[in-house]
Chain A
Amino acid sequence: MDTLDKLGILAEAARFDAACTSSGSDRAPKAGALGATTPSGICHSFTQDGRCITLLKVLMSNACSYDCAYCVNRRSASVPRATFSPRELAELTVDFYKRNYIEGLFLSSGVLGTPDATCERMIECLRILRDDLQFRGYVHAKVIPGTSADLIDAVGRLADRLSVNLELPSSHSLQLLCPDKDAKGVLAPMGQIKRERDGEEQRLLEESPRGSRRLRARAAIADKPLGPGADLAMDSLAVGDLAATAPPSATLRQASSPRGAAPLFSNAAKLTATQHSRVATSRRTFAPAGQSTQLIVGASDEDDNHILQLSQSLYRKFDLKRVFFSAYMPELDDPRLPEPGTPVPLRREHRLYQADWLMRYYAFSPDELVTPQEPWLDLDVDPKLAWALRHMDLFPVEVMDAPLDVLVRVPGIGVVGARRITYARRTKRLAFDDLRALHITLKRARHFITCSGQRDPLCPLDPELIRERVIQDAQASSYAKARREREDGQLRLF
């Protein structure tokens, strides 16, 4: 079988992995070497269904010895099998990179015998790529649960980002659908990656005088040290004592260029409400772009409350850069799974991503978006709008004096728009026309703000009327209509 045929099989086998980002790493070019990385990453193409392609996303092999019920590559499935040789895949990456098709390689694999044997093969591929072919582009490597600590360390020295997929949001579901995996085995590598990154950060800070000062200043804050990852249970993550391991409370930063000027080009990573690393990624040698994970949504019966609480815990305990959600595609006939033909829960995936964004960029907590009593996100209305409609007593807010963390909670005002308002209002009394010029989405925002004490004349005063109008607008979108038609006619299994 030549590489062209292998590629068809192994790309199709990898397409269910939602993560495809090339961000978070800043590696400069070097004489005689090929490539570099940019902190924001670059999307080089988009699939027919609109998902970004930034990396060569393939499996090293789909000849998997595990038998996870939801997976098309499971041992018992009848599918064509293929395996790349390490050099073949490394050469392929370089050929695609030189043509500007990709930013680098997303390397994952089915379990070829054992996790360690698979990881060794992946390491060989990355070694060829980095050493023989002198490739300095982006590499995202998947860590298979059960891999030895020394191999995880080795792969982390070659890759920019590592990820360990949780796949299912609870130990129960994992036990039911993935008999070869357990929660402990999934969380242990995450704990190791976190510890190694923290250790390197500490070393780098101690090496520089400025860093030492920062360290001493931070010592007073005293983050509680994390226990070994292997001792953590997935379910306790979702319901456990978050406060015990939570870093200092999330804050929004007013990014600005020198002398208080509004930056024209926003660096999205700097707008997050989470704690930022104290050392530059370019100085790190172990997984400089951090780690991420993926959860399959809709294959098991966990609700949105459980998933968002779990995500929040993962961000805090393991310092994850992203939690990806992958809507389950019911293709397999298995009594433990939704029936084939059940609509893909696209809206649910979409709302979870929006909620995730609110947690990372807007400093929302999961409790503000879902509760044990109301555990599902509203499918018709985005989570921020739904939150605002539940808290109409907090609105309208005055754009001339509302602080940044209040402005970002107004529907229609995003993290960039809110910052634009805070800059613009320093020298001008803002009117609705000014907000329009600043590209604020007034269609939604107008109901929730005043400009210098004035309400928008077209906006109703009665909160009930506002609620009715914004819900009508949200429901009228082509997206909401198309998804309702497909999803509402079907029985909801979970």
Chain B
Amino acid sequence: MPKLAESARTASFASSRGIPPHTEARVTPPVRVAATANSEPLISNKDVEHELPALGQLREALAGGRYAILACEPTLEGVLCAVGLSYLAHAAEGQVRLARADACQPSLAEAVIAIPGSECDAAVLLARRVWQGYLRAIEARPREEFPHRLVYAAASDSPDMPELVHRYLRLCFARGAEVRLMTADPAVIALDDLARQVSNECEKTRQFVRFSHLADGSYAASFRPRADTVPLVAQHFCRRMGTERFYLLDPGHRVVALHEAGERRCSLVRLEEATAHDLCDLGELADDERYVRAMWKRLYDALTLEGRGPAERGYDLRLHFMPRRLWEGLTELDPRSDDPGVVTPERYRG
């Protein structure tokens, strides 16, 4: 079986934040799958049969005339692996459906088969093979936007995500590049809707993440998006903050992007629940942090214009753009930010 290349550049930063070394190797799924080069060897059918017992279980269920529900990790890797197994088991579209492992509700006629996720190298390799097949089917060109809608859709928190991606992939394999023109097909519309929702959530992440300056000179932020957006936006923050050491944590999806000053890329790490919880505590702040927060809040408060608020407008425009669920993390809406602390940084003493 081919070996997976591991990424572990930020060992010191990770360990300084209490991230166990063994978790660091787990680079987030979209990057692992979608970044695969065409020339890399793909996992063979024989290796899949040997490494993934779920294939045998699925074949057995189908041979017994049962329907199957594939309970998979809600990641691109998990879903692509499940789709790959369903094809290798020669399951017709109606015979299997995919569901999130954490929200799987089988009917009496369905056999539940657990599909391994990104912790399993064979699953990742099978996912890569499916990804390559998908690119070939739709005749994708390098750096083209079209295939990446699948990556966005797979980052959705929707309970229907695995099955919607499954149906879309089946359509791609059946119709090939013609899918590009099938804008009004229900499977295409459903996938595009998911991708758009995730894209919107990515934009919210880029907008509303707030970094804090820590005592060790690094920057840190914790953000809870409604999709697995951190892997998709990490490079954006890397472009912005290339000179800084920082981390961006999503405790909900238990993923963190780590960046060392001067590096061109972030490292993405899936975390254990306890580690994610520990990282939420940013630790000691830098001396200037309270003062800068206070300045930002002062600016925010000063920019408001009277006569244009919700009462005068008939609806709350701010809520429309900035949902209340995100307010908790916004420095400018936190009354504690009014306090500039006891230290006025030298450069701001006037």
Q: Report which of A57, A137, A346 forms a contact with B312, defined as CB distance below 8 A.
A: A346
* Interfacial residues of chain A within 162-178, with CB under 8 A of chain B in the complex: none
A52 beta carbon closer than 8 Å to chain B: yes
Q: Is the pair A16, B305 in contact by a Cβ cutoff of 8 Å?
A: yes
A1 beta carbon closer than 8 Å to chain B: yes
A188 beta carbon closer than 8 Å to chain B: no
Q: Report which of A52, A88, A101, A428 forms a contact with B347, defined as CB distance below 8 A.
A: A88
A329 beta carbon closer than 8 Å to chain B: yes
A391 beta carbon closer than 8 Å to chain B: no
Specify which chain A residues have a CB less than 8 angstroms from the CB of B262 in the assembled complex. 31-32
B16 beta carbon closer than 8 Å to chain A: no
Q: Contact mask B268-287 → A, CB, 8 Å, 1/0? A: 00000000000000000000
Q: How distant is B84 from chain A, measured CB to nearest CB, in Å? A: 24
* Interfacial residues of chain B within 288-318, with CB under 8 A of chain A in the complex: 288, 291-292, 294-296, 298-309, 311-318
Q: Is the pair B211, A4 in contact by a Cβ cutoff of 8 Å?
A: no
How far is it, in angstroms, between the C-alpha of A7 and the C-alpha of B181 when the chains are bound?
53
Q: Contact mask B179-211 → A, CB, 8 Å, 1/0? A: 011111110010010011001000100111111
Q: How distant is B93 from chain A, measured CB to nearest CB, in Å? A: 20
Q: Is the pair A99, B303 in contact by a Cβ cutoff of 8 Å?
A: no
How far is it, in angstroms, between the C-alpha of A43 and the C-alpha of B301 when the chains are bound?
16
Q: Which residue of A lies closest to B242 (CB)?
A: A29
| With contact pairs A50-B317, A346-B308, A434-B184 given, residues A11 and B302 touching in the complex (Cβ less than 8 Å) | yes
Most chain-A Cβ atoms within 10 A of its Cβ — which of B177, B212, B292, B316?
Answer: B292
Number of interface residues of B (CB under 8 A): 80
Q: Is the pair B303, A15 in contact by a Cβ cutoff of 8 Å?
A: yes
Specify which chain B residues have a CB less than 8 angstroms from the CB of A58 in the assembled complex. 299
Q: Which residue of B lies closest to A9 (CB)?
A: B302
Q: Report which of A12, A260, A420 forms a contact with B180, defined as CB distance below 8 A.
A: A260
A458 beta carbon closer than 8 Å to chain B: no
Q: Is the pair A329, B184 in contact by a Cβ cutoff of 8 Å?
A: no
Q: Which residue of B lies closest to A265 (CB)?
A: B199
| With contact pairs A3-B348, A7-B295, A43-B207 given, residues A49 and B145 touching in the complex (Cβ less than 8 Å) | no
Specify which chain B residues have a CB less than 8 angstroms from the CB of A43 in the assembled complex. 207, 321
Q: Contact mask A128-162 → B, CB, 8 Å, 1/0? A: 00000010010000000000000000000000000
Q: Is the pair A482, B183 in contact by a Cβ cutoff of 8 Å?
A: no
Specify which chain A residues have a CB less than 8 angstroms from the CB of B322 in the assembled complex. 45-46
Q: How distant is A255 from chain B, measured CB to nearest CB, in Å? A: 11
Q: How distant is B338 from chain A, measured CB to nearest CB, in Å? A: 10
Q: Is the pair B340, A486 in contact by a Cβ cutoff of 8 Å?
A: no
| With contact pairs A44-B207, A96-B292, A346-B313 given, residues A259 and B177 touching in the complex (Cβ less than 8 Å) | yes
List 7 tightest A-B contacts by C-beta distance, closest first.
A50-B317, A482-B314, A261-B180, A424-B184, A3-B348, A49-B308, A11-B302
> Which A residues are within 8 Å of any B CB, using their own CB?
1-4, 6-8, 11-12, 14-16, 28-36, 38, 42-53, 56-58, 87-88, 91-92, 95-101, 134, 137, 257-265, 327, 329, 343-344, 346, 420, 423-428, 430, 434, 437-438, 477-483, 486
> Which B residues are within 8 Å of any A CB, using their own CB?
139, 141, 144-146, 149, 152, 177-178, 180-186, 189, 192, 195-196, 199, 203, 206-213, 219, 221, 236-244, 262, 288, 291-292, 294-296, 298-309, 311-318, 320-322, 330-332, 340, 344, 347-350
